[in-house]
Chain A
Amino acid sequence: MAEVFQAIDQFPVTLKTWLLGHAAGVMPEWALPLLSAALSITPILAVFPLLFALTTVIERKGLGRIQNRRGPNRVGIPLTNIRLAGFGQFIADGIKSLTKEDIVPRSADKVVHFLAPIALLIPVLLTYSVLPFGRNMVPLDLPQTGLLFFFALGASTELSVFMAGWSSRNKYSLLGAMRAIAQMVSYEIPLILSALTVVMIAGTLSLSGIVESQAEVRFGFLHSWHLFTPWGLVGFFLFLTAAAAEANRTPFDLPEAESEIIAGYFTEYSGFKFAIFFLAEYLGLFAMCGLGITLFLGGWLPPFKFLGFIPSWCWFLGKLVALILLFIWLRGTLPRLRTDQLMGFAWKFLLPMTLINLFVAGLWHLSVTSVPMTVRWIGGFALLAIPYWLLGRGFEAQVGKREYRFAN
């Protein structure tokens, strides 16, 4: 029985080696690495846009339910009367955005305007190549610099935001682009610092190595995810907050909110280019979630050892879907932050908290043998909760006692 589950777990790897083995006799020598890379990329290109399409529908229906209404519920299978409770909406949306007229403003900078969506999509797709999707399933294994590759490409996405905002020759686009870049640059620091905490404890920048460092089984059944430590718990939420801000997701979506600035830096984009922007934004969110899962939630590891029969890629997908649902829930619940509140939150709250988290992680690691477990946990939480409370007090609005004045 265990061999059957093992086979299901590793079937992408065996499929790829079988295909490569057959192709080795047919194709020339120089084409084999290219074929291997293409075989690794194909599942990513097949699964994640489909996940994006389903996420758009689930998000609209989920937001609808949170707001006490139903989401889209008419479109099922096109050209028939089968409704499928609205889950065919993404087909309709896709066809619509592909067939809409592509309007470019007359004074826009044509070349830059054309290149901006592509310049956003390419780095985002490249970031998927270092995420471990399952046991032995990393498309590109960089044993020395995996995480650095991810963050370097994440930093390159900011440039395309600027290209989009500037080339439209629209004051509001430019304003939205500058705000978006300022937000992305500010939130990169807590993002990288909270990831650095994990690197310090795991001792490697390689993402598959970080997953391996969480494989140790404690108490006989619990895999030691980094989430199950005080610094890991706080670090995970700091990472998620910074990732939401990086992906321009509510409550940090001021640069692209409809009631604020029309559509921010992609106001002047229509049709297929807008669809690419939309796709790239959601794919960026999925990549950030995937990284958060790898760093803190144990990647493809199950939480309990006895659940190990479920394939590793199923665990990764399940955790990814859970995080996406969490982000949809946040979008429906929390109000938007203003720009100055957003910046203040990044620099005055998240940055000190990530630094203190790094310090607590170091203390945790150094006191593994010398201090009992309960003292470590209570000490860790206290060292994190007190600055959290103190830093949070700076954000309270100054409300005094309410005075009533009556017209005389």
Chain B
Amino acid sequence: MTLSFAILAGLTVGSAVAAMSLRNLVHCALGLVLTFAGLAGLYLQLNAEFVGFTQILVYVGAVAILIVFAILLTRGTEPANEPAAVSPWAGLPVAVLAFLAMAAAVLASPVDKRLAAPVPEVSVKTLGQKLMTDYVLPLEVLALLLTAAMLGAVIIAMKDKEDLQ
């Protein structure tokens, strides 16, 4: 357990807890941004540079902005006069049980004995070649999905003509 891993993991988990438990929605969104940044650091530690920087570009640069815009447009800035959680005693035990089950599975399995391969020779060139040869079908389907999502989001959030009158 190296020091950099400990710092990054601590930052990520701490800001995830903050993101889920703070009252003010914008503070939660900013905690989420820190979580994304911590995760990008973990990806860089795992020698996945492209995915790490794509994580920052897409998640911090786009998804986080979407979330804060939605918070603004749904009046999240007014102080909440209702309790934030419906009943913490219903959801938390489920999550704790899930974590215990997963941790037990991880610690009992032989994955611990796996040794890290020497630093893999990944290049963006081979990534692009694979995208165009082995993974071309998911790529095209993803393009279709993104187009449909974009059109759908615009149409759903557009003001109806009747509302304007």
Q: Does B57 contact A (CB under 8 A)?
A: yes
The residues of A that contact B68 with a CB separation of less than 8 Å are 159, 162, 166
Q: Given A112-B30, A142-B49, A155 and B61 touching (CB < 8 A)?
A: yes
A155 touches B124 (CB 8 A): no
Neighbour of B61 across the interface among A145, A149, A158, A203, CB < 8 A: A158
| Contact A178-B57, Cβ < 8 Å, known A112-B26, A166-B26 | no
Q: Mark A144-156, 1 if CB is under 8 A from B, else 0.
A: 1100110111111
- How near does chain B come to A339, taking the closest CB pair, in angstroms? 16
Task: Return the chain A residue nearest B26 by Cβ.
Answer: A166
> Contact between A148 and B50 (Cβ–Cβ < 8 Å)?
yes
Could you say which of B27, B49, B57, B69 contacts A155, with CB atoms under 8 Å apart?
Answer: B57
Selected contact of B124 from candidates A144, A149, A153, CB within 8 Å: A144
What's the nearest-Cβ distance from chain B to residue A362, in Å? 14
Q: Which residues of A sit under 8 angstroms from B72, Cβ to Cβ? A: 166, 174, 178
A284-302 CB mask vs B (1 if < 8 Å, else 0) is 0000000000000000000
Are B124 and A156 within 8 A (Cβ)? Answer: no
A159–B59 CA distance with the chains assembled, in angstroms: 11
Query: Whose C-beta in chain B lies nearest to the C-beta of A153?
Result: B56
Q: Write out the residue numbers on chain B whose beta carbons fall within 8 Å of the beta carbon of A163.
A: 30
- Of the listed residues B24, B56, B125, the one surrounded by the most CB atoms of chain A closer than 10 A to its CB is B56
Interface residues as binary, A118-150 with B (CB distance below 8 Å gives 1, 0 otherwise): 000000000000000000000000101100110
Is A181 close to B, CB under 8 A?
A: yes
| A205 CB, nearest partner CB in chain B, Å | 6
Interface membership of B65, Cβ < 8 A: yes
Asked whether, in the complex, the Cβ of B53 is within 8 Å of the Cβ of A159, the reply is no
Judging by beta carbons under 8 Å apart, are A144 and B30 in contact? no
Residue of chain B at shortest CB distance from A205: B124
B49 to chain A, nearest CB (A): 5
Q: Is A8 an interface residue (CB 8 A)?
A: no
Q: In chain B, residues 30-78, which have Cβ atoms closer than 8 Å to a Cβ of chain A?
A: 30, 33, 49-50, 53-54, 56-57, 60-62, 64-65, 68-69, 72, 77
A151 to B62, CA, bound (A): 12
B123 contacts chain A at the CB level, 8 A cutoff: yes
If A166-B26, A178-B72, A205-B124 touch, whether A148 touches B53 (CB-CB below 8 Å) is yes
Q: Indicate if the CB atoms of B56 and A185 lie closer than 8 Å.
A: no
Q: Would you call B53 and A145 a contact (CB within 8 A)?
A: yes
Q: CA A205 – CA B68 in complex, angstroms? A: 31
Closest B residue by C-beta to A174: B72
Could you tell me how many residues of chain B have their Cβ less than 8 Å away from some Cβ of chain A? 24
Chain A interface mostly helix, strand, loop or mixed? helix
Q: Which residue of B lies closest to A115 (CB)?
A: B30
Q: A residues within 8 A CB of B30?
A: 112, 159, 163
Query: Which chain A residues border B27 with CB–CB below 8 Å?
Result: 112
A335-372 Cβ-contact flags toward B at 8 Å (1 or 0): 00000000000000000000000000000000000000
Q: By the criterion CB–CB under 8 Å, are B65 and A144 in contact? A: no
From residue A348, how far is it (CB to closest CB) to chain B in Å?
Answer: 15
Q: Contact mask B104-145 → A, CB, 8 Å, 1/0?
A: 000000000000000000111100000000000000000000
Given known A112-B26, A144-B124, A205-B124, contact A156–B56 (CB-CB < 8 A): yes
Minimum C-beta distance from B137 to chain A (A): 23
Chain B hits for A185, CB < 8 A = 62, 65
| Inter-chain contact A159/B60, CB cutoff 8 Å | yes
Which chain A residues lie closer than 8 Å to B60 at the CB level? 152, 155-156, 159
B33 / chain A contacts, CB cutoff of 8 Å:
159
> Are A152 and B77 in touch, CB under 8 angstroms?
no
Query: Which among A151, A153, A159 has the greatest number of chain B C-beta atoms within 10 A?
Result: A159
Shortest beta-carbon contacts, A-B, top 3: A155-B61, A152-B56, A152-B57
